[in-house]
Structure 1
Amino acid sequence: MKKRRLIASMLCAVLTASVALSGCGGKTGGGSQGAGKETEAGGGSAAPTVYTRLYGSEATTVNYLVTSSQNDHWLPANTIDTLIEYDNKGQIKPGLATEWEHDEAALTWTFTLREAKWVDHTGAEVADVTAQDFVDAMKYELTPEYESANVQNLFGVIANAEKYYNGLVYNGGADEDGNVWEPIDFSEVGVKAVDEHTLVYTLEEEVPYFLSSLAYVVYMPAYGPQLEELGKEFGTGADKMYYNGAYYLAEFSPQERQIMKKNPLNYDADMVYIDEIHRVYNAEYNTIGPEMVKRGEVDYAEIPADILDDWLNGEDTKNLISRERPRTSYSYFYSFNFNPQFDAQYEPDNWKKAVNNENFRKSLFAALNKVNPIAITDANAPEDFAINSITPANFTFNADGEDFTTVGDMAALGQTFDETKAKEYRDLAKTELEAEGATFPVKILMPYNPSELNWDKECQIVEQQMEALLGSDYIDIIVEAGPADGFLTEVRRNGKFAFMKCNWGADYADPETWTDPFYQKKGEEGYDLGYKYGNIAKAIEEGTPSAEAALEYFTLVEEAKSLKTDINSRYEAFAKAESSLINHALVIPFSITVSRYVADTLNAFDGQYAPFGVSNLRYKGQTINDHYISMDEFKANQEANEK
């Protein structure tokens, strides 16, 4: 057997005593008056350190086994431990598993679990964490009636996962593609509890990124007896699930507050330095947050563009402001919607003619000057965040250590903004579309989530710039606010947009993860349109002029996915697929996550880091400072981390 063994390292930290501020329902670390762990008079017990921040978009569920939304993952990231973790430098380390090994074919993976406990929403011990909890959690995800959005992550990875799931769905019948799915017993699925502390996964085929994927919610455990008892009610409230992570969820009051408290029974409790995390709901958090920072009432707030210069130059605010940690875990891109479901007033039929014309898409592709909208968030160095591919640089490397974005066809991708080409594509598109009966200007519905800081301003910049370059007689970009809550489901998943900035967060360390938003698997009867970004397969289904480009991309993805052992060939194949997607302007690359300007009492480089999974959402390992981090401190912390 090939064996991989890691031993967890322990770090020591000292929490300094200081005066805590009260605000938002607890003692917080922010403000110039100082904060942190306050000692009661007379040498009694210390008051808890509380980290407080506002939020404006409510989680739809606490049930991490069914949700794929990052907005829902804040809570499980901190309350449920995974088999492996990442440290603050992005290196893999033991989590609930102390060691692991795999066979020569890398198909059978065996994990040895440490002693750990489940607790309830009061922190009271419930039961031991066992290997069976991982088995029961996966069975729950593979039960169709629970409608898990994560289940696709298991298909083609865990042996017989897809067969079991579809066997329940079709029970010996045929799916819409004519495939017959006979029911099988769950014992045939590739997850087994050998004993209380030995967990075995059997894979469908070799999966180069399997170990890294274990840091994602789809492989989190859950207490089996509770799953059986609650069914669909699991995760609908703080008292409707158990916890084994650094924190337990003490309160979940939608559109009021979320309170997580340190779990003293967690195996790694010595590495948890913040006693309570308070997330307080306020629909106007973008406006109110900075003012509460000035009063020392919250530990974190984003600083919007319209007050950024004042804060950077103000004597009383310039040392309160720093940046988020730069990361490549998210890629942003503009999606074209090939399956519009928006209202008639936005002319969906006319849009379908336009979006299926490659020259029309390329005219928008070449007309988008990324630097201008990015500058809304960072006016100092917006070009640092613009990208010309979907996969960010420094995300993953081939067997020779080459960055994926420099491999094969990816190396030829260059600057996308080109005014001259944009006009050339426009003129070609007008001639072609007029012949097809399209009318001008083409209405382009571009919605945004009003709870996302600066998104409205970005949309206005894009509208003004592109209409000015291409002409308002050619395109009419219509910027509209969508709902703050449920935006993802209401707008993107329901196809109520024509052109919109979207994002994708990597789930594992492999370029395949960046195909997940676009790739759609074909059956005998067609494609499952599902929730895929823009529903590119709709072009194939309807036989539009874009069908050939869409089919080329899907075929190239399938070829790349089939390469398992030769990593260099695999990466070159995925490079060819992504280049095809971009060169046909089926999507427009935009940026990595722009490091926002923030006021924060945490050192951004203390926390866990990985360009995938939920590691970046965790508070474990972080310490509240008695002041907001300044820009000079941020730079010093960044340099120290890089060393």
Structure 2
Amino acid sequence: MKKYISILVATVVIVTACLAGFSVQATAAPIRVTINGRPITTEVPPVVQNGRTLVPFRAIFEALGAEVDWNERTNTVAGYRGPSFVLLEPGSTRAFITGREIRLDVGPLIVAGRTMVPLRFVAESLGAQVEWVEATRTVTIVDAPYPAAPTVGRTGGEFRSLYSGELTTLNYLTSGTFAVHTLAANIIDGLVEFDSFGVLHPSLAKHWTISPDGLVYTFTLRQGVPWLTWDGREYAEVVAQDFVDSARYVLTRANASATANILFRFVRGGEEFFNGTTTDFATVGVRALDRYTVQYTLRSPASFFLSALTYVCFFPVNGAFLAETGARFATDHLTILNNGAYILRAHVPQNRRELVKNTRYWDRDNVHIDRLFFQFNREAAALAPEMFVRGEISSASIPTAIIDGWRLDPVRRELLRPAPVGAFAFWHAFNFSPRMAPQFEPENWRRAVMNLNFRKAIFHGLDRVAAMLTFDPYDPLRQISNTITPVNFASVDGIDYTNLPALQPIVRMQVFDRALALTHRNRAMTELRAAGVTFPIRVKMPFNTGSPDWTNRAQVIEQQLESLFGREFIDVMPVGYPPTGFLDATRRPGNYAIQEVNWGPDFLDPEAYTQPFEAGHLTYSDIALASANYQRLLNAAKAEVRNIRRRFELFAEAEAYLIQNALVMPYRVGGGGYVASRLHPFQGSYAAAGPAVGKFKFQRLLDRAMNVEQFNEAQTIWARDRVIALRKAGQ
């Protein structure tokens, strides 16, 4: 199990005043060191060099139950504390704080075979506070503990659940399906991972360094991590080449990876290789420097690159196994390898999926549930609630239609709780390039939607709370969002992105405003008549018939808008489409006027929410036809890669322009609804981007499901501790 530290110190011998080129001052009286008030005793006292206090290393390190590594080949001392690490080179003033290179005033020294390090640097770089008390000649170190995730629940046992949507592939390197990604995240580890608070930790990478220009990331892997087959046999060791082979596979166009664009958005030469401009993979910025060192070279600096590494296109694959299985790779449990918390023991389509704890997992002490069993049933949504009550399964979503009954039942009420909200953004999209059937009058719609007053009328006339009642009739405001990028997604200098000056007024805005909506309607009617638009304007609004709440919501929106504006102005026309092939029939070909759509982020940066609105993204309404200004603002934001505060401000300005001009209608964030579950909602991995939220690592099985009050209390504690954890980790 990993040990934790707050400072790095090295055992020393008595240092004389003369040391080959160094001036070390003898002190008038011994210097004492305390950690949280506890005196630390070492064989030799700390010393002062050039005004800096150097302290003993290993003695204090181990007294704190910390982990220290010494790499003789690279002459590097490494210290690890939870999500943070420090790399030091004796004899050099260069050091790395969780990958970032800095320069020390005084570097570490080797004295008689022992290492000395500057106290304040190593302590503060890992989140501790350091003070000098002159009166007692004492260095006091105050180190608040890193917040602990909830530990309630039992170790061992089996998690059981139903599912109704079958996977058509297990190929995590090509699939764009979130269910495939979450399965992969449970059986395959990447270089880094998120903990329960959304803090990034080393995973298969034990540590890394980042070049001063922010372009080169060099990762040192853990040694001895095995690739295992479905029955637990070792196939090979995880090595640096596995990440190179993965990148080559994803970037080979013939493999049709749905996530290749995410990989080549970051990696130098990736897009050129994918497009066939070059066939030389050596030009791509992914290299194995040796057996345990993999290096990524980026096309431009990206401070959020580490968060992108949790996405499936950066997961490793064993090249020999890939060649051996060929086209059969990842078609079932027999043709996929495991290196993560669980092993996929069985995958029988339309029958079951079974995962078992990987007893050879490098971090197995954080895997608490022994077995995950998923049973296929086409009627899962209808059957699961009562199966949970009978104790046959461990978790179930509770449909809106039966929540009233559960709330009135004294037994079921105590099993019901909200599901946490997610980071997916939902909005109502205006289609600026309609390709609808003639009866929906696409050209008339196109001319209408290009009018700013028409869009603002709909923007301020849509009662989002009334629409949201179809999804959550008890707390509809919990998921309402005035912005595309959700609150709490990203922050800079301690300021939430949505609280930056450009977006703050929008977050606080009362969007639904009947009087303002009617004012814009009246202006629009005058302007549109002059432009030859005929009334009522037909508004085709597709909905998914497989979603009862969406079906109801379409009717609510139709009635609400027509009641407000009058049918002489608009004719809202909800059209139902079956769930199979829904997007291929509606959004993707442009077969709509207004449609509820969504997008999820792939990395932790505001840019992650901009792709649907970029010029040429025809499957998301083609906003560029209505305004070229947004693309100019977006380009300026993307070009700023050095000044992160300015980068965030520019993205906020671009998003504000999008909303202020009613080019989109933000609606809500994802997640939410109600569940009955024996999983703790704040115990597992958390991240606003990527598949981490679907991981079972860190989870324990509760003896009894949470109720609403327990959920609210746990959420309050988690939110408080998350702020502390992010601050302590410097993230």
Q: TM-score range by the shorter chain?
A: 0.7 to 0.9
User: Do residues 564 (structure 1) and 564 (structure 2) align?
Assistant: no
Q: Which moved more, 1:592-601 or 1:453-462?
A: 453-462
> Which residue in 2 is equivalent to 1:176?
none
CA contact (8 A) 1:120 1:243 kept: yes
The separation in 1 between residues aligned to 2:400 and 2:443, in whole angstroms, is: 37
Amino acid in the other structure paired with 1:482: Y
User: Do residues 241 (structure 1) and 318 (structure 2) align?
Assistant: no
The separation in 2 between residues aligned to 1:515 and 1:503, in whole angstroms, is: 12
- Give the drift of 1:60: 4.4
- Give the drift of 1:239: 2.7
> Which residue in 2 is equivalent to 1:267?
362
- Give the drift of 1:64: 1.7
> Which residue in 2 is equivalent to 1:412?
505
The separation in 1 between residues aligned to 2:350 and 2:592, in whole angstroms, is: 27
**Structure 1 pair 578/160, CA: closer, same or farther in 2 (3 Å)?**
same
- Give the drift of 1:462: 1.9
- Give the drift of 1:360: 2.2
Name the TM-score, length of structure 1 as normaliser: 0.84
User: Do residues 126 (structure 1) and 216 (structure 2) align?
Assistant: no
Query: What secondary structure, in the 3-state scheme, does the structure 2 residue paired with 1:517 have?
Result: helix
Which has the greater radius of gyration? 2
Q: How does 1:166-245 map to 2 (within 5 A)?
A: 166=275, 168=276, 181=277, 183-245=278-340
Query: What secondary structure, in the 3-state scheme, does the structure 1 residue paired with 2:603 have?
Result: coil
2:425 to 313, 316, 331: 331
Query: What secondary structure, in the 3-state scheme, does the structure 1 residue paired with 2:706 have?
Result: coil
CA contact (8 A) 2:152 2:700 kept: no
The separation in 2 between residues aligned to 1:201 and 1:9, in whole angstroms, is: 32
CA contact (8 A) 2:341 2:357 kept: yes
Query: What secondary structure, in the 3-state scheme, does the structure 2 residue paired with 1:205 have?
Result: coil
**Structure 1 pair 459/5, CA: closer, same or farther in 2 (3 Å)?**
same
CA contact (8 A) 2:286 2:297 kept: yes
CA contact (8 A) 2:150 2:683 kept: no
The separation in 2 between residues aligned to 1:625 and 1:490, in whole angstroms, is: 42
Q: Which moved more, 1:128-137 or 1:448-457?
A: 448-457
The separation in 2 between residues aligned to 1:137 and 1:156, in whole angstroms, is: 16
Q: Which moved more, 1:210-219 or 1:334-343?
A: 334-343
> Which residue in 2 is equivalent to 1:174?
none
Query: What secondary structure, in the 3-state scheme, does the structure 2 residue paired with 1:386 have?
Result: coil
Q: How does 1:96-175 map to 2 (within 5 A)?
A: 96-114=204-222, 115-166=224-275, 168=276
Query: What secondary structure, in the 3-state scheme, does the structure 1 residue paired with 2:384 have?
Result: helix
- Give the drift of 1:199: 0.8
The structure, 1 or 2, with the larger RCO (C-alpha pairs under 8 Å, 6+ apart) is 1
**Structure 1 pair 295/10, CA: closer, same or farther in 2 (3 Å)?**
closer
User: Do residues 278 (structure 1) and 370 (structure 2) align?
Assistant: no
User: Do residues 379 (structure 1) and 473 (structure 2) align?
Assistant: yes
1:403 to 466, 484, 496: 496
> Which residue in 1 is equivalent to 2:724?
none
The separation in 1 between residues aligned to 2:601 and 2:192, in whole angstroms, is: 16
CA shift digits 1:111-136 (9 cap, x unpaired): 11113222223333221111111111
Unaligned 5+ residue runs, structure 2?
1-93, 100-125, 127-145, 722-731
- Give the drift of 1:106: 1.4
**Structure 1 pair 633/492, CA: closer, same or farther in 2 (3 Å)?**
same
> Which residue in 2 is equivalent to 1:518?
613
Amino acid in the other structure paired with 1:536: I
The separation in 2 between residues aligned to 1:84 and 1:59, in whole angstroms, is: 26
**Structure 1 pair 435/250, CA: closer, same or farther in 2 (3 Å)?**
farther
Name the TM-score, length of structure 2 as normaliser: 0.74
- Give the drift of 1:435: 3.8
The separation in 1 between residues aligned to 2:705 and 2:331, in whole angstroms, is: 35
**Structure 1 pair 428/281, CA: closer, same or farther in 2 (3 Å)?**
farther
The separation in 2 between residues aligned to 1:57 and 1:439, in whole angstroms, is: 44
> Which residue in 1 is equivalent to 2:663?
586
The separation in 1 between residues aligned to 2:332 and 2:387, in whole angstroms, is: 28
CA contact (8 A) 1:318 1:630 kept: yes
Identity of aligned residues (%): 37
CA contact (8 A) 2:487 2:497 kept: yes
- Give the drift of 1:388: 1.2
CA contact (8 A) 1:5 1:100 kept: yes
Amino acid in the other structure paired with 1:262: K
The separation in 1 between residues aligned to 2:148 and 2:488, in whole angstroms, is: 28
CA contact (8 A) 1:146 1:232 kept: no
> Which residue in 2 is equivalent to 1:535?
622
- Give the drift of 1:2: 5.7
**Structure 1 pair 568/15, CA: closer, same or farther in 2 (3 Å)?**
closer
1:95 to 191, 203, 216: 203
Q: Which moved more, 1:459-468 or 1:437-446?
A: 437-446
> Which residue in 1 is equivalent to 2:461?
367
> Which residue in 1 is equivalent to 2:70?
none
**Structure 1 pair 59/471, CA: closer, same or farther in 2 (3 Å)?**
farther
CA shift digits 1:258-277 (9 cap, x unpaired): 33332223222222222222
**Structure 1 pair 421/337, CA: closer, same or farther in 2 (3 Å)?**
same
CA shift digits 1:49-95 (9 cap, x unpaired): 33222334343432221233324322112122111111111211111
The separation in 2 between residues aligned to 1:303 and 1:616, in whole angstroms, is: 19
> Which residue in 1 is equivalent to 2:85?
none
**Structure 1 pair 372/604, CA: closer, same or farther in 2 (3 Å)?**
same
- Give the drift of 1:390: 0.7
Unaligned 5+ residue runs, structure 1?
17-35, 38-48, 169-180, 521-526, 540-545
The separation in 2 between residues aligned to 1:200 and 1:90, in whole angstroms, is: 24
- Give the drift of 1:613: 1.4
> Which residue in 1 is equivalent to 2:679?
602
The separation in 2 between residues aligned to 1:12 and 1:638, in whole angstroms, is: 11
**Structure 1 pair 240/467, CA: closer, same or farther in 2 (3 Å)?**
farther
The separation in 2 between residues aligned to 1:553 and 1:251, in whole angstroms, is: 49
- Give the drift of 1:552: 0.7
CA contact (8 A) 2:461 2:561 kept: yes
CA contact (8 A) 1:11 1:271 kept: no
**Structure 1 pair 258/462, CA: closer, same or farther in 2 (3 Å)?**
farther
CA contact (8 A) 1:366 1:422 kept: yes
> Which residue in 2 is equivalent to 1:351?
445
- Give the drift of 1:229: 4.2
> Which residue in 1 is equivalent to 2:538?
443
User: Do residues 553 (structure 1) and 630 (structure 2) align?
Assistant: yes
1:426 to 521, 544, 557: 521
Amino acid in the other structure paired with 2:220: T
Query: What secondary structure, in the 3-state scheme, does the structure 2 residue paired with 1:501 have?
Result: strand
Query: What secondary structure, in the 3-state scheme, does the structure 1 residue paired with 2:655 have?
Result: helix
* Aligned length in residues: 579
> Which residue in 1 is equivalent to 2:31?
none
> Which residue in 2 is equivalent to 1:295?
390
The separation in 2 between residues aligned to 1:103 and 1:283, in whole angstroms, is: 52
1:64 to 161, 167, 172: 172
> Which residue in 1 is equivalent to 2:410?
315
CA contact (8 A) 2:150 2:682 kept: no
**Structure 1 pair 128/13, CA: closer, same or farther in 2 (3 Å)?**
farther
CA shift digits 1:251-301 (9 cap, x unpaired): 334444333332223222222222222333344433222222222222211
Q: How does 1:251-262 map to 2 (within 5 A)?
A: 251-262=346-357
User: Do residues 470 (structure 1) and 565 (structure 2) align?
Assistant: yes
Query: What secondary structure, in the 3-state scheme, does the structure 2 residue paired with 1:112 have?
Result: strand
Looking at secondary structure, tell me which structure has more strand per residue: 2
- Give the drift of 1:496: 3.1
> Which residue in 2 is equivalent to 1:44?
none
The separation in 1 between residues aligned to 2:511 and 2:148, in whole angstroms, is: 47
Query: What secondary structure, in the 3-state scheme, does the structure 2 residue paired with 1:430 have?
Result: helix
Q: Which moved more, 1:554-563 or 1:594-603?
A: 594-603
